[in-house]
Every structure is written in C-alpha cells, then in structure tokens.
C-alpha cells in the first residue's frame, strides 16, 4: 500500500511540474508551455512539439508593450478633446498612446507609461474670491476669500474698497463682491429774508386824482 502511495505521489509531482511554465513561456489552453511572443507582436498560432509559436505584428490601432501569450494586441488609448486631453505621443506597436491635458484643465490620473488618462477643468474662483495659486496641468486652481475691506467681482483679484470723502459721502457699504458706493453731497441753498423787511408795513397803492 505504501509503495502505491509513493508511485502516485511521484506522478502527481511530475504532472504539476509540467504545468508550471517558465517566466519566458506561456501556457496554452491545451496545457502546453510555449515561448512568449515578443513585444509588438501577438500569438497567431501556438507552438507544437516541433515548431515555435507563430507570432504576428500588432495591427494599426493596437499595441503590445511586453512579451506575451495573448491572441490579440491591446487597443490604443484615445485622447478625447471633449475630456480635456490631447495626443502627446502617438500609439506604436510597442507603446500605448500618451495623452496630456489641454489648457484650462489639470490631470487627475497620471501614469508614467500612458500619461494622463483623466482630466478636469480648472476651478473658477467666484465673486468674493481671488486666485491664490493659478491652476497648472497637474494641479487645480486654489481660491481664497477676499479680506475685509476688499472685493472681487470677477473672482481673479481682490481690490481695496473705494474711500469716500465729505463731498462724496458713502451711500452704500461694500462687500466681498461689490465696492463701496459714494454719492454727491446735496448743495441746498437757503435764502434768508432780512427780518427788517418782514417788519415793514406793506406799501399801499396811491391813486392820484
């Protein structure tokens, strides 16, 4: 009984070791180990005991950036302008498309091989704020609220409130988004009637005969 176990165990070990392909090989659906195709190519036909695998070059619009045992190449990435991306480097048989961001956008997902895969528009600062740090291709805009006594109507820079004078007194207080409003002083003229004239009797009309 023990000898049967030893034989069975030996067969199991031999079978498992046969299924474990080396790093430069791939396992076929039939359980065989074949040499991998080089980058820029894919497996057109698996190997046989007498022949190496048949490898074909990637077609336009596809790529393969590593040795492989796949039956087709990978599709090239698309840099969509509607998503704020443009083609920085065209796709080749051995390298995927490299995308970067258009002006007014920043990258939210960046990889060394394919560049930017996800972009977003820069934040627009609202009235009452200023741009503390301008947005770049790798970072969003940083906004900051205007301090007291300053305002911003366009969300770009904060400007000090206007200073009103005695001849132009303040008629409306400023806010972080609007300036102080100054008016014009009213120039009322007062006419004084001498008190003496008020005390004089009203002259009558003399009719000569």
Condensed to tens digits (0 to 9), the pLDDT of residues 143-176 reads 999 999 999 999 999 999 999 998 899 999 999 9
pLDDT range class, residue 19, cuts 50, 70, 90: low
The residues, ordered by sequence, that sit 6+ positions from 15 with a Cβ below 8 Å of its Cβ are none
- In three-state secondary structure terms, 175 is coil
CA 50 remoteness from chain centre: 54
Query: How far apart are the C-alpha atoms of 7 and 94, rounded to whole Å?
Result: 48
Confidence of residue 138 (pLDDT cuts 50, 70, 90): very high
Phi-psi region of 196 (alpha: psi -120 to 50; beta: other; left: phi over 0): alpha
């Amino acid at each position: 009984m023990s000898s049967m176990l030893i034989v069975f165990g030996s067969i199991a070990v031999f079978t498992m070791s046969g299924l474990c392909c080396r790093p430069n090989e791939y396992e076929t659906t039939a359980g065989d180990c074949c040499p991998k195709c080089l980058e820029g190519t894919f497996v057109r036909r698996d190997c046989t005991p007498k022949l190496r695998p048949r490898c074909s070059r990637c077609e336009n619009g596809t790529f393969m950036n590593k040795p492989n045992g796949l039956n087709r190449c990978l599709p090239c990435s698309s840099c969509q302008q509607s998503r704020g991306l443009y083609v920085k480097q065209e796709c080749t048989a051995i390298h995927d498309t490299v995308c970067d961001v258009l002006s007014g956008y920043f990258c939210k997902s960046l990889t060394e091989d394919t560049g930017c895969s996800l972009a977003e528009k820069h934040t627009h600062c609202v009235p009452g704020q200023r741009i503390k740090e301008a947005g770049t291709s790798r970072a969003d805009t940083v906004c900051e609220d205007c301090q007291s006594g300053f305002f911003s109507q366009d969300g770009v820079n904060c400007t000090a409130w206007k200073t009103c004078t005695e001849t132009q007194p303040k008629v409306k207080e400023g806010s972080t988004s609007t300036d102080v409003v100054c008016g014009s002083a009213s120039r009322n003229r007062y006419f004084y009637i001498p008190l003496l004239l008020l005390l004089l009797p009203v002259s009558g009309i003399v009719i000569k005969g």
